[in-house]
A and B are shown apart, each in its own frame.
Chain A
Amino acid sequence: LALASSSELFTLTYGALVTQLCKDYENDEDVNKQLDKMGYNIGVRLIEDFLARSNVGRCHDFRETADVIAKVAFKMYLGITPSITNWSPAGDEFSLILENNPLVDFVELPDNHSSLIYSNLLCGVLRGALEMVQMAVDVKFVQDTLKGDGVTEIRMKFVKRIEDNLPAGEE
């Protein structure tokens, strides 16, 4: 098996993972949940690799966060630069539009998996990584080319800032 790039190795590995989860769980909701959970666990570690490699400092607002995610992080790990659109007036919500999602390069969703969110791992990764930099964010797919939409759209909603506290039991 000759792989064109290491990104194909990731794409195929991810495909095998989703396939296995679909065998292990009866309904797609559970698969979505597992993918999100795995993504979260990856995200909390990936943020450290990202911060160490990019030397990006703390973001001061959600717009800056959006820029870093789209232009630096997606570029670094998936080799793509999603566009940022649909800002809410309050500036607490935006969308990432993925023209090409490398996770789905070889995928066609069978009819019996209509509620499967194939790339749901990404939502978990984003949520986990942002939580580590004190941002609680709601992440979900609202459009997906696998489901016949024109583009793939991930909606990011800022929930709250996680304050750091002095640990309990301090004398």
Chain B
Amino acid sequence: MTVHNLYLFDRNGVCLHYSEWHRKKQAGISKEEEFKLMYGMLFSMRSFVGKMSPVDMKDGFLAFQTSKYKLHYYETPSGLKVVMNTDLGVGNIRDVLHQIYSNIYVEFVVKNPLCSMSEPIQSELFRTKLDGFIRGLPFFSARAG
């Protein structure tokens, strides 16, 4: 199993953090454009899923998959979005995405008064903790992508 990459977006669509581990194919556009494209898609997906649902939903948009990868989506009531791409073998990882929020983002960004909450995260501590957490996941493959 594999973790490809991870995006964190704030409630206004700012990409607070991006990191990748196994990504064979790049988008061929600037990262800035890629973040906008990704956020726009998530925003539309969220509203699409909300409008199309024939029943009341609790959690809304959770994930989608293609023939090659799976995108996992987690949004807090405060609008922080954790987006992780993995291979298809990875099941429901809501708790993992919640842990990234509660044990890493809240601990090392929110509780660091010198970290702005509306700009890309500069904290080296945050990056290190996040990278360590992802590499420790049971479905993180060390095989070079």
| A61-100 vs B, Cβ < 8 Å mask (1 yes, 0 no) | 0000000000000000000000000000000000000000
Q: A48-B110, A167-B39 are in contact. Are A58 and B13 (CB under 8 A)?
A: no
**Contact-size category for B:** 20 to 34
Chain A residue nearest to B104 in the complex (CB): A52
Flag if A52 contacts B106 (CB, 8 Å): yes
> In the complex, which residue of chain B has the Cβ closest to the Cβ of A170?
B40
Chain A residues with CB under 8 Å of B36's CB are 170-171
Asked if residues B111 and A49 are in contact (CB atoms below 8 Å), the reply is: yes
Q: Does B80 contact A (CB under 8 A)?
A: yes
Known contacts A45-B111, A48-B110, A49-B111: A167-B12 contact under CB 8 Å = yes
A156 to B98, CA, bound (A): 30
| Contact across chains for A52 and B40 when beta carbons are under 8 A apart | no
- Residue among B58, B77, B101 with max Cβ neighbours from chain A (10 Å): B77
- For A59, A134, A166, the residue with the greatest tally of chain B CB atoms inside 10 Å of its CB is A166
Cα of A134 to Cα of B79 in the assembled complex, Å? 9
Q: Mark A29-61, 1 if CB is under 8 A from B, else 0.
A: 000000000000000110111011101111100
How many chain A residues have a CB neighbour from B under 8 Å? Answer: 21
In the bound complex, residues from chain A placing their C-beta under 8 Å from that of B98 are: 52, 55
What chain A residues lie within 8 Å of B78 (beta carbons)? 47-48, 51, 132-133
Minimum CB–CB distance from B107 to chain A (whole Å) comes to 8
The CA of A49 and the CA of B105, in the complex, are separated in Å by 10
Q: Does A24 contact B (CB under 8 A)?
A: no
Which of these, B43, B58, B106, contacts A48 with CB under 8 Å?
Answer: B106
Asked if residues B102 and A53 are in contact (CB atoms below 8 Å), the reply is: yes
Expressed in whole angstroms, the Cα–Cα distance for A166 and B79 within the complex equals 13
Residues on the B chain within 8 Å of A47, using CB: 78
A149 within 8 A of B: no
Contact of B11 among A55, A59, A164, A171 (CB under 8 A): A164
A171 surroundings in chain B (CB, below 8 A): 36
Contact (A167, B13) CB under 8 Å given A45-B110, A52-B102: yes
Residues of B within 8 A of A59 (CB): 77
Task: Count contacts between A and B, CB distance < 8 Å.
Answer: 48
Q: What is the CB-to-nearest-CB distance from B82 to chain A, in angstroms, rounded to a whole number?
A: 12
CB-CB < 8 A to A170: which residues of B? 36, 40
How far, in whole Å, are A134 and B12 apart by their CA atoms in the complex? 12
Question: A166 to B80, Cβ gap below 8 A?
Answer: no
Could you tell me which B residues sit within 8 Å of A by CB distance?
Answer: 11-14, 36, 39-40, 43, 58, 76-80, 98, 101-103, 105-106, 110-111, 117
A residues lining the B interface (CB < 8 Å) = 44-45, 47-49, 51-53, 55-59, 132-134, 164, 166-167, 170-171
Q: Would you mind naming 21 contact pairs between A and B with Cβ atoms under 8 Å apart? A: A44-B117, A45-B110, A45-B111, A47-B78, A48-B76, A48-B80, A49-B110, A51-B78, A52-B102, A52-B106, A53-B102, A59-B77, A132-B79, A133-B77, A134-B79, A164-B79, A167-B12, A167-B13, A167-B14, A170-B36, A171-B36
